[in-house]
Amino acid sequence: MTSYRSARALDAQEQHTRLVLFFPGFRRIARGNPVIWEGTVQPIGGTTYKIQIEHKRNHRPLVRVVEPALERREADIPIPHTFKTGEICLHLRAEWNSSRYIHETIVPWTVTWLFFYEVWRATGQWLGGGHEPENDESEQLEIESE
Amino acid sequence: MPTLPAQKLRDDLLPPAPAIGTSILDELLHFACEALQLTPTLHAEADGHYRAVANWIGAEDSYFFGFDPDIYPQGSFRIGTTTRPILDNEFDLDFVLQLLDRGVKPLVLLEELEKRLRANKMYAPMVERLNRCVRLNYANQFHLDILPGVLDGTGTRIAVPDRKVAGWKSSDPKAHAAWFLSRGLTERFDKAAQIAPLPSIQTAAEKSVLQRAVQLFKRARDRFFQANCEIAPRSIVLTTIAAWSYSGTRSTVTAIYEAVHKMRALVASSERPIEVWNPVNPLELLSEHWNTNPIAYQVFRRWLDAFADDWDKLLAAKSIPEMQQHLASLFGDGIATDAIVKHAARIDDLRKGGSLKISTAGGLMTGSGAAAVVRPNTFYGDHD
Protein backbone atom coordinates (compact mmCIF):
# COMPACT_ATOMS: atom_id res chain seq x y z
CA MET A 1 0.00 0.00 0.00
CA THR A 2 1.21 3.47 -0.83
CA SER A 3 2.48 5.46 2.07
CA TYR A 4 1.68 9.17 2.16
CA ARG A 5 3.43 10.04 5.37
CA SER A 6 6.40 11.89 4.00
CA ALA A 7 4.81 15.32 3.52
CA ARG A 8 4.04 17.78 6.30
CA ALA A 9 0.57 18.02 7.85
CA LEU A 10 -1.82 20.46 6.21
CA ASP A 11 -3.72 22.90 8.39
CA ALA A 12 -7.45 23.58 8.20
CA GLN A 13 -7.06 26.74 6.14
CA GLU A 14 -4.95 24.98 3.54
CA GLN A 15 -7.56 22.26 3.28
CA HIS A 16 -10.35 24.82 3.05
CA THR A 17 -8.76 26.90 0.29
CA ARG A 18 -8.25 23.90 -1.96
CA LEU A 19 -11.57 22.24 -1.18
CA VAL A 20 -13.72 25.23 -2.15
CA LEU A 21 -11.50 25.99 -5.13
CA PHE A 22 -12.02 22.58 -6.69
CA PHE A 23 -15.52 21.97 -5.34
CA PRO A 24 -17.31 25.33 -5.27
CA GLY A 25 -20.45 23.65 -3.95
CA PHE A 26 -18.77 23.35 -0.54
CA ARG A 27 -18.68 25.92 2.24
CA ARG A 28 -17.35 25.96 5.77
CA ILE A 29 -20.14 25.86 8.34
CA ALA A 30 -17.96 25.55 11.48
CA ARG A 31 -14.54 26.98 12.15
CA GLY A 32 -12.07 25.95 14.80
CA ASN A 33 -11.44 22.39 15.82
CA PRO A 34 -13.21 20.54 14.35
CA VAL A 35 -13.85 22.43 11.17
CA ILE A 36 -16.98 21.31 9.29
CA TRP A 37 -17.66 21.72 5.59
CA GLU A 38 -20.99 21.17 3.95
CA GLY A 39 -21.57 20.70 0.25
CA THR A 40 -23.41 18.77 -2.44
CA VAL A 41 -22.34 16.01 -4.78
CA GLN A 42 -24.20 14.26 -7.62
CA PRO A 43 -22.54 10.90 -8.29
CA ILE A 44 -24.53 10.09 -11.45
CA GLY A 45 -25.91 13.53 -12.18
CA GLY A 46 -29.23 12.55 -10.63
CA THR A 47 -29.81 12.58 -6.91
CA THR A 48 -28.02 15.44 -5.17
CA TYR A 49 -26.55 14.43 -1.81
CA LYS A 50 -25.79 17.00 0.87
CA ILE A 51 -22.78 15.85 2.84
CA GLN A 52 -20.75 17.12 5.76
CA ILE A 53 -17.05 16.62 6.28
CA GLU A 54 -15.92 17.08 9.84
CA HIS A 55 -12.20 17.39 10.40
CA LYS A 56 -10.60 17.47 13.82
CA ARG A 57 -6.89 18.09 13.95
CA ASN A 58 -4.90 14.85 13.74
CA HIS A 59 -8.03 12.79 13.14
CA ARG A 60 -9.30 11.27 9.97
CA PRO A 61 -12.15 13.32 8.47
CA LEU A 62 -15.65 12.07 9.22
CA VAL A 63 -18.17 12.08 6.41
CA ARG A 64 -21.90 12.15 7.01
CA VAL A 65 -24.66 12.15 4.44
CA VAL A 66 -27.13 14.81 5.57
CA GLU A 67 -29.79 14.32 2.91
CA PRO A 68 -31.35 12.36 1.49
CA ALA A 69 -30.92 10.08 4.48
CA LEU A 70 -29.15 6.83 3.71
CA GLU A 71 -31.57 3.94 3.68
CA ARG A 72 -31.20 0.29 4.50
CA ARG A 73 -32.57 -2.39 2.22
CA GLU A 74 -33.85 -4.32 5.19
CA ALA A 75 -34.47 -3.01 8.67
CA ASP A 76 -32.05 -5.34 10.44
CA ILE A 77 -29.22 -5.30 7.89
CA PRO A 78 -26.86 -2.34 8.14
CA ILE A 79 -25.64 -0.39 5.14
CA PRO A 80 -22.24 -1.76 4.05
CA HIS A 81 -19.17 0.29 4.89
CA THR A 82 -20.76 2.55 7.44
CA PHE A 83 -19.88 3.12 11.07
CA LYS A 84 -22.58 2.55 13.60
CA THR A 85 -22.34 6.27 14.38
CA GLY A 86 -23.67 6.87 10.87
CA GLU A 87 -20.51 8.08 9.17
CA ILE A 88 -19.43 6.35 6.01
CA CYS A 89 -16.22 4.32 5.89
CA LEU A 90 -14.04 5.47 3.06
CA HIS A 91 -10.56 4.15 3.62
CA LEU A 92 -8.17 2.15 5.71
CA ARG A 93 -6.28 4.04 8.35
CA ALA A 94 -3.03 3.92 6.42
CA GLU A 95 -4.66 5.41 3.33
CA TRP A 96 -5.14 8.87 4.81
CA ASN A 97 -3.15 11.22 6.97
CA SER A 98 -3.04 14.95 7.55
CA SER A 99 -0.64 15.54 4.68
CA ARG A 100 -3.30 14.53 2.19
CA TYR A 101 -5.73 17.00 0.72
CA ILE A 102 -9.40 16.33 1.44
CA HIS A 103 -10.45 17.44 -2.04
CA GLU A 104 -8.12 14.86 -3.58
CA THR A 105 -9.12 11.99 -1.34
CA ILE A 106 -12.16 12.26 0.89
CA VAL A 107 -14.42 13.98 -1.66
CA PRO A 108 -13.69 11.59 -4.59
CA TRP A 109 -13.99 8.60 -2.26
CA THR A 110 -17.32 9.89 -0.95
CA VAL A 111 -18.73 10.33 -4.46
CA THR A 112 -17.54 6.85 -5.40
CA TRP A 113 -18.95 5.43 -2.17
CA LEU A 114 -22.34 7.01 -2.94
CA PHE A 115 -22.33 5.50 -6.41
CA PHE A 116 -21.72 2.02 -5.01
CA TYR A 117 -24.30 2.71 -2.30
CA GLU A 118 -26.91 3.36 -5.03
CA VAL A 119 -25.85 0.16 -6.77
CA TRP A 120 -26.18 -1.72 -3.49
CA ARG A 121 -29.63 -0.23 -2.89
CA ALA A 122 -30.67 -1.39 -6.36
CA THR A 123 -29.11 -4.85 -6.38
CA GLY A 124 -28.24 -5.87 -2.83
CA GLN A 125 -24.61 -6.26 -3.88
CA TRP A 126 -21.72 -4.08 -2.73
CA LEU A 127 -19.54 -3.89 -5.82
CA GLY A 128 -17.07 -1.22 -4.76
CA GLY A 129 -14.64 -3.61 -3.15
CA GLY A 130 -13.28 -2.88 0.28
CA HIS A 131 -12.13 -4.43 3.42
CA GLU A 132 -14.24 -6.54 5.74
CA PRO A 133 -12.49 -5.95 9.03
CA GLU A 134 -14.09 -8.58 11.32
CA ASN A 135 -12.85 -7.59 14.75
CA ASP A 136 -9.97 -5.46 13.65
CA GLU A 137 -10.14 -2.86 16.42
CA SER A 138 -7.15 -0.95 15.10
CA GLU A 139 -9.23 0.25 12.16
CA GLN A 140 -11.88 1.86 14.34
CA LEU A 141 -12.13 5.60 14.60
CA GLU A 142 -9.17 6.73 16.59
CA ILE A 143 -6.51 9.36 16.78
CA GLU A 144 -4.15 9.03 13.93
CA SER A 145 -0.71 7.95 15.06
CA GLU A 146 1.74 10.06 13.17
CA MET B 1 -56.88 4.07 -43.08
CA PRO B 2 -53.57 5.59 -41.98
CA THR B 3 -50.47 3.86 -43.14
CA LEU B 4 -46.85 4.44 -42.29
CA PRO B 5 -45.94 7.61 -44.17
CA ALA B 6 -43.18 7.26 -46.70
CA GLN B 7 -41.23 9.95 -44.93
CA LYS B 8 -40.34 10.22 -41.32
CA LEU B 9 -42.38 12.42 -39.03
CA ARG B 10 -40.55 15.61 -38.29
CA ASP B 11 -38.31 15.18 -35.29
CA ASP B 12 -39.04 18.64 -33.99
CA LEU B 13 -42.64 17.64 -33.29
CA LEU B 14 -41.39 15.48 -30.46
CA PRO B 15 -40.97 16.72 -26.93
CA PRO B 16 -37.23 16.85 -26.25
CA ALA B 17 -35.79 13.78 -24.57
CA PRO B 18 -34.43 14.59 -21.12
CA ALA B 19 -30.67 14.33 -20.99
CA ILE B 20 -30.08 13.45 -17.33
CA GLY B 21 -28.65 10.03 -16.84
CA THR B 22 -29.11 9.00 -20.47
CA SER B 23 -25.50 7.96 -20.82
CA ILE B 24 -25.80 5.62 -17.84
CA LEU B 25 -29.11 4.37 -19.18
CA ASP B 26 -27.55 3.73 -22.57
CA GLU B 27 -24.88 1.67 -20.92
CA LEU B 28 -27.46 -0.25 -18.89
CA LEU B 29 -29.44 -0.97 -22.06
CA HIS B 30 -26.26 -2.11 -23.77
CA PHE B 31 -25.74 -4.68 -21.01
CA ALA B 32 -29.42 -5.65 -21.12
CA CYS B 33 -29.09 -6.41 -24.84
CA GLU B 34 -26.01 -8.48 -24.14
CA ALA B 35 -28.09 -10.64 -21.82
CA LEU B 36 -30.77 -11.06 -24.50
CA GLN B 37 -28.34 -12.48 -27.09
CA LEU B 38 -28.11 -16.02 -28.32
CA THR B 39 -25.07 -17.48 -26.60
CA PRO B 40 -22.24 -18.56 -28.93
CA THR B 41 -23.00 -22.19 -28.03
CA LEU B 42 -26.66 -21.90 -28.96
CA HIS B 43 -25.74 -20.01 -32.08
CA ALA B 44 -23.36 -22.76 -33.18
CA GLU B 45 -26.04 -25.38 -32.51
CA ALA B 46 -28.64 -23.43 -34.46
CA ASP B 47 -26.20 -23.10 -37.31
CA GLY B 48 -25.56 -26.86 -37.30
CA HIS B 49 -29.27 -27.71 -37.25
CA TYR B 50 -30.01 -25.29 -40.04
CA ARG B 51 -27.29 -26.65 -42.30
CA ALA B 52 -28.35 -30.25 -41.70
CA VAL B 53 -32.00 -29.49 -42.50
CA ALA B 54 -31.02 -27.51 -45.56
CA ASN B 55 -28.95 -30.43 -46.84
CA TRP B 56 -31.81 -32.85 -46.23
CA ILE B 57 -34.33 -30.71 -48.09
CA GLY B 58 -31.96 -29.98 -50.97
CA ALA B 59 -30.57 -33.52 -51.40
CA GLU B 60 -30.74 -35.27 -54.77
CA ASP B 61 -33.51 -37.64 -53.74
CA SER B 62 -35.65 -34.79 -52.42
CA TYR B 63 -38.82 -33.55 -54.10
CA PHE B 64 -37.27 -30.07 -54.04
CA PHE B 65 -34.02 -30.97 -55.77
CA GLY B 66 -35.26 -29.76 -59.15
CA PHE B 67 -36.48 -26.42 -57.77
CA ASP B 68 -32.97 -25.04 -57.25
CA PRO B 69 -33.65 -24.72 -53.51
CA ASP B 70 -31.99 -21.96 -51.57
CA ILE B 71 -32.41 -21.91 -47.81
CA TYR B 72 -31.60 -18.77 -45.89
CA PRO B 73 -32.36 -17.23 -42.53
CA GLN B 74 -35.02 -14.55 -42.31
CA GLY B 75 -36.39 -12.34 -39.56
CA SER B 76 -34.56 -11.67 -36.31
CA PHE B 77 -31.84 -14.20 -37.05
CA ARG B 78 -31.03 -12.49 -40.29
CA ILE B 79 -31.08 -8.97 -38.89
CA GLY B 80 -29.41 -9.57 -35.52
CA THR B 81 -32.37 -8.96 -33.24
CA THR B 82 -32.94 -12.36 -31.65
CA THR B 83 -34.22 -12.07 -28.12
CA ARG B 84 -33.84 -14.60 -25.36
CA PRO B 85 -37.22 -16.05 -24.37
CA ILE B 86 -38.51 -15.08 -20.94
CA LEU B 87 -38.95 -18.59 -19.62
CA ASP B 88 -36.95 -21.53 -20.82
CA ASN B 89 -38.89 -21.51 -24.05
CA GLU B 90 -37.40 -22.17 -27.41
CA PHE B 91 -35.90 -19.44 -29.57
CA ASP B 92 -37.89 -18.84 -32.74
CA LEU B 93 -35.63 -19.14 -35.76
CA ASP B 94 -37.11 -18.50 -39.17
CA PHE B 95 -35.87 -19.75 -42.51
CA VAL B 96 -37.02 -19.41 -46.09
CA LEU B 97 -36.98 -22.32 -48.50
CA GLN B 98 -36.80 -20.36 -51.75
CA LEU B 99 -37.71 -22.26 -54.91
CA LEU B 100 -38.06 -21.64 -58.60
CA ASP B 101 -41.67 -21.41 -59.76
CA ARG B 102 -42.52 -24.78 -61.30
CA GLY B 103 -46.26 -24.18 -61.28
CA VAL B 104 -46.84 -26.13 -58.08
CA LYS B 105 -50.02 -25.32 -56.15
CA PRO B 106 -49.45 -23.56 -52.81
CA LEU B 107 -50.76 -26.26 -50.49
CA VAL B 108 -48.89 -28.96 -52.37
CA LEU B 109 -45.69 -27.12 -51.56
CA LEU B 110 -46.46 -27.22 -47.84
CA GLU B 111 -47.47 -30.88 -48.02
CA GLU B 112 -44.32 -31.86 -49.87
CA LEU B 113 -42.15 -30.00 -47.36
CA GLU B 114 -43.86 -31.76 -44.49
CA LYS B 115 -43.55 -35.11 -46.27
CA ARG B 116 -39.85 -34.60 -46.89
CA LEU B 117 -39.19 -33.76 -43.24
CA ARG B 118 -41.27 -36.70 -41.99
CA ALA B 119 -39.23 -38.99 -44.24
CA ASN B 120 -36.27 -38.38 -41.95
CA LYS B 121 -36.36 -40.49 -38.79
CA MET B 122 -34.83 -37.76 -36.69
CA TYR B 123 -37.09 -34.97 -37.92
CA ALA B 124 -40.34 -36.98 -38.08
CA PRO B 125 -41.27 -36.60 -34.39
CA MET B 126 -40.31 -32.92 -34.41
CA VAL B 127 -42.56 -31.81 -37.27
CA GLU B 128 -45.43 -29.42 -36.63
CA ARG B 129 -47.68 -27.97 -39.32
CA LEU B 130 -48.36 -24.20 -39.18
CA ASN B 131 -50.29 -21.83 -41.42
CA ARG B 132 -47.47 -20.74 -43.70
CA CYS B 133 -44.58 -22.91 -42.63
CA VAL B 134 -43.49 -26.21 -41.24
CA ARG B 135 -41.88 -26.16 -37.82
CA LEU B 136 -39.21 -28.40 -36.36
CA ASN B 137 -39.19 -28.46 -32.56
CA TYR B 138 -35.80 -28.91 -30.99
CA ALA B 139 -36.92 -29.45 -27.41
CA ASN B 140 -35.80 -26.73 -25.00
CA GLN B 141 -33.69 -25.02 -27.64
CA PHE B 142 -35.34 -23.77 -30.81
CA HIS B 143 -38.30 -23.83 -33.10
CA LEU B 144 -36.99 -23.88 -36.59
CA ASP B 145 -39.70 -22.54 -38.89
CA ILE B 146 -39.27 -23.25 -42.58
CA LEU B 147 -41.34 -21.09 -44.89
CA PRO B 148 -41.46 -22.33 -48.47
CA GLY B 149 -41.81 -19.75 -51.22
CA VAL B 150 -41.44 -19.47 -54.97
CA LEU B 151 -39.67 -16.58 -56.68
CA ASP B 152 -42.25 -14.43 -58.45
CA GLY B 153 -39.78 -12.96 -60.91
CA THR B 154 -39.41 -9.64 -59.12
CA GLY B 155 -35.97 -9.65 -57.54
CA THR B 156 -36.01 -11.45 -54.21
CA ARG B 157 -39.79 -11.34 -53.81
CA ILE B 158 -41.49 -14.69 -53.21
CA ALA B 159 -45.02 -16.04 -53.14
CA VAL B 160 -45.65 -18.09 -50.02
CA PRO B 161 -48.46 -20.60 -49.47
CA ASP B 162 -51.09 -19.74 -46.88
CA ARG B 163 -53.35 -22.53 -45.61
CA LYS B 164 -56.07 -20.21 -44.30
CA VAL B 165 -56.68 -18.58 -47.66
CA ALA B 166 -55.64 -21.72 -49.57
CA GLY B 167 -53.57 -19.53 -51.86
CA TRP B 168 -50.46 -17.39 -52.14
CA LYS B 169 -49.31 -14.41 -50.15
CA SER B 170 -46.54 -12.08 -51.19
CA SER B 171 -43.41 -11.72 -49.08
CA ASP B 172 -39.92 -10.30 -49.44
CA PRO B 173 -37.94 -11.10 -46.31
CA LYS B 174 -34.56 -10.56 -47.96
CA ALA B 175 -35.39 -7.07 -49.15
CA HIS B 176 -36.98 -6.23 -45.81
CA ALA B 177 -33.84 -7.33 -43.97
CA ALA B 178 -31.65 -5.28 -46.30
CA TRP B 179 -33.89 -2.26 -45.75
CA PHE B 180 -33.78 -2.72 -41.97
CA LEU B 181 -30.01 -3.04 -41.88
CA SER B 182 -29.54 0.03 -44.04
CA ARG B 183 -31.86 1.96 -41.74
CA GLY B 184 -29.59 1.02 -38.87
CA LEU B 185 -26.61 2.30 -40.86
CA THR B 186 -24.91 -1.06 -40.69
CA GLU B 187 -23.86 -3.15 -43.62
CA ARG B 188 -22.46 -6.19 -41.93
CA PHE B 189 -24.66 -8.75 -43.58
CA ASP B 190 -23.20 -11.00 -46.24
CA LYS B 191 -25.01 -11.89 -49.40
CA ALA B 192 -26.76 -15.19 -48.93
CA ALA B 193 -24.84 -18.06 -50.42
CA GLN B 194 -26.53 -21.23 -51.62
CA ILE B 195 -26.77 -22.20 -47.97
CA ALA B 196 -26.03 -18.87 -46.35
CA PRO B 197 -23.95 -19.04 -43.18
CA LEU B 198 -25.83 -17.56 -40.26
CA PRO B 199 -24.76 -14.04 -39.55
CA SER B 200 -21.83 -14.43 -37.19
CA ILE B 201 -22.60 -13.97 -33.53
CA GLN B 202 -22.58 -10.34 -32.60
CA THR B 203 -21.82 -8.91 -29.24
CA ALA B 204 -24.18 -6.20 -28.12
CA ALA B 205 -21.34 -3.72 -28.63
CA GLU B 206 -21.27 -4.47 -32.34
CA LYS B 207 -24.98 -4.09 -32.77
CA SER B 208 -26.45 -0.96 -34.21
CA VAL B 209 -28.58 1.22 -32.00
CA LEU B 210 -31.59 0.20 -34.07
CA GLN B 211 -30.91 -3.50 -33.55
CA ARG B 212 -30.72 -2.94 -29.81
CA ALA B 213 -33.89 -0.89 -29.78
CA VAL B 214 -35.72 -3.72 -31.55
CA GLN B 215 -34.38 -6.33 -29.13
CA LEU B 216 -35.61 -4.26 -26.20
CA PHE B 217 -39.02 -3.61 -27.76
CA LYS B 218 -39.46 -7.32 -28.32
CA ARG B 219 -38.41 -8.16 -24.80
CA ALA B 220 -40.85 -5.64 -23.32
CA ARG B 221 -43.57 -7.01 -25.62
CA ASP B 222 -42.83 -10.57 -24.53
CA ARG B 223 -43.24 -9.59 -20.90
CA PHE B 224 -46.44 -7.64 -21.39
CA PHE B 225 -48.06 -10.35 -23.51
CA GLN B 226 -46.64 -13.30 -21.59
CA ALA B 227 -50.10 -14.68 -20.82
CA ASN B 228 -51.60 -13.65 -24.18
CA CYS B 229 -48.84 -14.22 -26.65
CA GLU B 230 -51.33 -15.12 -29.40
CA ILE B 231 -52.45 -11.47 -29.61
CA ALA B 232 -49.00 -9.91 -29.22
CA PRO B 233 -47.88 -7.51 -31.95
CA ARG B 234 -45.71 -9.35 -34.46
CA SER B 235 -41.95 -8.89 -34.30
CA ILE B 236 -41.81 -7.88 -37.95
CA VAL B 237 -44.33 -5.11 -37.27
CA LEU B 238 -42.41 -3.75 -34.28
CA THR B 239 -39.17 -4.05 -36.22
CA THR B 240 -40.58 -2.15 -39.18
CA ILE B 241 -42.04 0.65 -37.08
CA ALA B 242 -38.82 1.01 -35.08
CA ALA B 243 -36.72 1.17 -38.24
CA TRP B 244 -39.11 3.60 -39.86
CA SER B 245 -38.98 5.86 -36.78
CA TYR B 246 -35.23 5.69 -36.42
CA SER B 247 -33.60 9.10 -36.76
CA GLY B 248 -29.97 7.97 -36.71
CA THR B 249 -29.42 8.78 -33.05
CA ARG B 250 -26.51 7.02 -31.37
CA SER B 251 -28.43 6.70 -28.14
CA THR B 252 -30.59 3.61 -27.67
CA VAL B 253 -32.56 5.47 -24.99
CA THR B 254 -33.38 8.23 -27.46
CA ALA B 255 -34.10 5.83 -30.33
CA ILE B 256 -36.71 4.02 -28.24
CA TYR B 257 -38.12 7.30 -26.98
CA GLU B 258 -38.55 8.57 -30.53
CA ALA B 259 -40.00 5.32 -31.83
CA VAL B 260 -42.56 5.10 -29.05
CA HIS B 261 -43.73 8.66 -29.46
CA LYS B 262 -43.92 8.41 -33.25
CA MET B 263 -45.86 5.16 -32.95
CA ARG B 264 -48.28 6.76 -30.53
CA ALA B 265 -48.77 9.77 -32.77
CA LEU B 266 -49.52 7.48 -35.67
CA VAL B 267 -51.86 5.26 -33.69
CA ALA B 268 -53.67 8.27 -32.24
CA SER B 269 -54.38 9.59 -35.73
CA SER B 270 -57.11 7.02 -36.33
CA GLU B 271 -59.55 4.74 -34.60
CA ARG B 272 -58.94 2.10 -37.25
CA PRO B 273 -55.85 -0.08 -37.00
CA ILE B 274 -52.78 1.40 -38.65
CA GLU B 275 -51.39 -0.47 -41.63
CA VAL B 276 -47.76 -1.46 -41.59
CA TRP B 277 -46.55 -2.55 -45.02
CA ASN B 278 -43.25 -4.06 -45.96
CA PRO B 279 -41.57 -0.83 -47.10
CA VAL B 280 -39.90 -2.67 -49.97
CA ASN B 281 -42.83 -4.85 -51.04
CA PRO B 282 -46.08 -3.01 -51.76
CA LEU B 283 -47.96 -6.33 -51.78
CA GLU B 284 -47.07 -7.34 -48.24
CA LEU B 285 -49.26 -6.05 -45.42
CA LEU B 286 -47.34 -6.99 -42.29
CA SER B 287 -50.04 -5.90 -39.86
CA GLU B 288 -52.82 -7.98 -41.40
CA HIS B 289 -53.70 -9.55 -38.06
CA TRP B 290 -54.82 -6.17 -36.67
CA ASN B 291 -57.55 -5.98 -39.29
CA THR B 292 -58.85 -9.43 -38.44
CA ASN B 293 -58.39 -9.19 -34.69
CA PRO B 294 -59.50 -5.84 -33.24
CA ILE B 295 -58.81 -6.99 -29.68
CA ALA B 296 -55.17 -7.53 -30.57
CA TYR B 297 -54.96 -3.96 -31.83
CA GLN B 298 -56.65 -2.54 -28.73
CA VAL B 299 -54.25 -4.39 -26.47
CA PHE B 300 -51.33 -3.22 -28.62
CA ARG B 301 -52.46 0.36 -28.02
CA ARG B 302 -52.66 -0.26 -24.30
CA TRP B 303 -49.18 -1.74 -24.35
CA LEU B 304 -47.86 1.24 -26.27
CA ASP B 305 -49.31 3.64 -23.71
CA ALA B 306 -47.93 1.61 -20.83
CA PHE B 307 -44.55 1.38 -22.50
CA ALA B 308 -44.40 5.13 -23.18
CA ASP B 309 -45.31 5.78 -19.57
CA ASP B 310 -42.61 3.42 -18.30
CA TRP B 311 -40.07 4.92 -20.66
CA ASP B 312 -40.79 8.45 -19.50
CA LYS B 313 -40.37 7.29 -15.90
CA LEU B 314 -37.10 5.60 -16.77
CA LEU B 315 -35.82 8.81 -18.38
CA ALA B 316 -36.84 10.77 -15.29
CA ALA B 317 -35.15 8.33 -12.90
CA LYS B 318 -32.61 10.13 -10.72
CA SER B 319 -31.02 7.23 -8.95
CA ILE B 320 -29.79 3.75 -9.78
CA PRO B 321 -32.50 2.11 -7.61
CA GLU B 322 -35.15 3.98 -9.62
CA MET B 323 -33.53 2.91 -12.88
CA GLN B 324 -33.47 -0.67 -11.64
CA GLN B 325 -37.16 -0.49 -10.79
CA HIS B 326 -38.26 0.82 -14.17
CA LEU B 327 -35.91 -1.42 -16.16
CA ALA B 328 -37.21 -4.40 -14.18
CA SER B 329 -40.80 -3.45 -14.91
CA LEU B 330 -40.04 -3.25 -18.65
CA PHE B 331 -37.54 -6.06 -19.19
CA GLY B 332 -37.51 -8.20 -16.06
CA ASP B 333 -35.76 -8.08 -12.72
CA GLY B 334 -32.88 -10.35 -13.71
CA ILE B 335 -32.03 -8.33 -16.81
CA ALA B 336 -32.18 -5.05 -14.87
CA THR B 337 -30.03 -6.20 -11.97
CA ASP B 338 -27.52 -7.90 -14.25
CA ALA B 339 -27.10 -4.68 -16.27
CA ILE B 340 -26.48 -2.61 -13.14
CA VAL B 341 -23.97 -5.12 -11.79
CA LYS B 342 -22.06 -4.98 -15.07
CA HIS B 343 -22.15 -1.18 -15.10
CA ALA B 344 -20.80 -1.07 -11.54
CA ALA B 345 -18.02 -3.48 -12.50
CA ARG B 346 -17.04 -1.18 -15.33
CA ILE B 347 -16.96 1.85 -13.03
CA ASP B 348 -14.80 -0.16 -10.62
CA ASP B 349 -12.45 -1.07 -13.49
CA LEU B 350 -12.14 2.60 -14.44
CA ARG B 351 -11.35 3.39 -10.83
CA LYS B 352 -8.68 0.70 -10.63
CA GLY B 353 -7.23 1.91 -13.92
CA GLY B 354 -6.95 5.45 -12.56
CA SER B 355 -9.27 6.98 -15.16
CA LEU B 356 -12.29 7.61 -12.96
CA LYS B 357 -12.58 11.28 -12.05
CA ILE B 358 -14.86 13.69 -10.21
CA SER B 359 -16.36 16.84 -11.72
CA THR B 360 -16.52 20.13 -9.86
CA ALA B 361 -20.20 19.39 -9.23
CA GLY B 362 -19.25 16.16 -7.49
CA GLY B 363 -20.19 13.73 -10.24
CA LEU B 364 -18.38 10.69 -11.57
CA MET B 365 -16.77 11.33 -14.93
CA THR B 366 -13.97 10.39 -17.27
CA GLY B 367 -12.09 12.61 -19.69
CA SER B 368 -10.79 16.12 -19.19
CA GLY B 369 -11.94 19.01 -17.04
CA ALA B 370 -12.27 17.08 -13.80
CA ALA B 371 -11.74 18.52 -10.33
CA ALA B 372 -10.07 15.38 -9.01
CA VAL B 373 -9.01 11.87 -9.90
CA VAL B 374 -10.34 9.02 -7.77
CA ARG B 375 -7.17 7.77 -6.09
CA PRO B 376 -6.78 4.28 -4.70
CA ASN B 377 -8.69 3.57 -1.51
CA THR B 378 -10.23 0.66 0.31
CA PHE B 379 -13.78 1.09 1.55
CA TYR B 380 -13.52 -0.09 5.04
CA GLY B 381 -16.54 -1.03 7.01
CA ASP B 382 -17.42 -2.48 10.31
CA HIS B 383 -20.80 -1.78 11.67
CA ASP B 384 -20.49 -3.64 14.94
Tell me, what's the pLDDT at B370?
86
Look at residue B13 and tell me whether its pLDDT is greater than 90.
Answer: no
Tell me, what's the pLDDT at B57?
95
**Mean pLDDT value across residues B197-222:** 78
A10: confidence class by pLDDT, cuts 50, 70, 90: very high
Tell me, what's the pLDDT at A128?
92
Candidates A23, A112, A131; nearest CB to B371: A23
Closest residue in B to A90 (Cα–Cα): B379
B188: confidence class by pLDDT, cuts 50, 70, 90: very low
Candidates B318, B343, B372; nearest CB to A47: B318
Please report, for chain A, the start and end positions of each structural domain, with discontinuous segments joined by +: 12-141
In angstroms, rounded to a whole number, what is the distance separating the alpha carbons of residues B39 and B205? 14
**Mean pLDDT value across residues B110-125:** 96
Tell me, what's the pLDDT at A132?
63
Q: How far is B146 from chain A (nearest CA, A)?
A: 42
Please state which of the ranges A13-27, A37-51, B20-34 shows the lowest mean pLDDT: B20-34
A-chain residues near B320 (CB < 8 A): 44, 115, 118-119, 121-122
Please state which of the ranges A92-96, A137-141, B193-197, B207-211 shows the lowest mean pLDDT: B193-197
Candidates B318, B321, B360; nearest CB to A122: B321
Q: How far is A84 from chain B (nearest CA, A)?
A: 5
Query: Which of A117 and B30 is assigned the larger pLDDT?
Result: A117
Cβ of residue A61 closer than 8 Å to a chain B Cβ:
no
List, for residues A82-93, the tens digit of each pLDDT value.
Answer: 988 889 999 988
B367: confidence class by pLDDT, cuts 50, 70, 90: confident
Contact flag B380-A128 (C-beta cutoff 8 Å): no
Tell me, what's the pLDDT at B323?
96
Q: What percent of chain A has pLDDT over 70?
A: 86
Cβ of residue B378 closer than 8 Å to a chain A Cβ:
yes
**Mean pLDDT value across residues B85-107:** 88
Contact residues, A window 62-121, toward B, CB-based 8 Å cutoff: 78-84, 89-92, 95, 103-105, 107-109, 111-113, 115-116, 118-119, 121
B-chain residues near A118 (CB < 8 A): 319-321
ipTM of the complex: 0.87
Query: Which of B306 and B199 is assigned the larger pLDDT?
Result: B306
Please give the mean pLDDT across all residues of chain B. 86
Look at residue B196 and tell me whether its pLDDT is greater than 80.
Answer: no
Contact flag A45-B363 (C-beta cutoff 8 Å): yes
Tell me, what's the pLDDT at A1?
44
Closest residue in A to B374 (Cα–Cα): A108
**Mean pLDDT value across residues B154-180:** 95
Q: How far is A31 from chain B (nearest CA, A)?
A: 23
Closest residue in A to B23 (Cα–Cα): A44
**Mean pLDDT value across residues A65-79:** 93
pTM, rounded to two decimals? 0.86
**Mean pLDDT value across residues B220-244:** 93
Candidates B321, B361, B383; nearest CB to A42: B361
Contact flag B381-A84 (C-beta cutoff 8 Å): no
Contact flag A128-B379 (C-beta cutoff 8 Å): yes
Closest residue in A to B327 (Cα–Cα): A122
A133: confidence class by pLDDT, cuts 50, 70, 90: low
**Mean pLDDT value across residues B323-329:** 97
Cβ of residue B353 closer than 8 Å to a chain A Cβ:
no
Tell me, what's the pLDDT at B88?
63
Q: Which fold has domain A12-141?
A: Ubiquitin Conjugating Enzyme (3.10.110)
Look at residue B2 and tell me whether its pLDDT is greater than 80.
Answer: no
Contact flag A104-B372 (C-beta cutoff 8 Å): yes
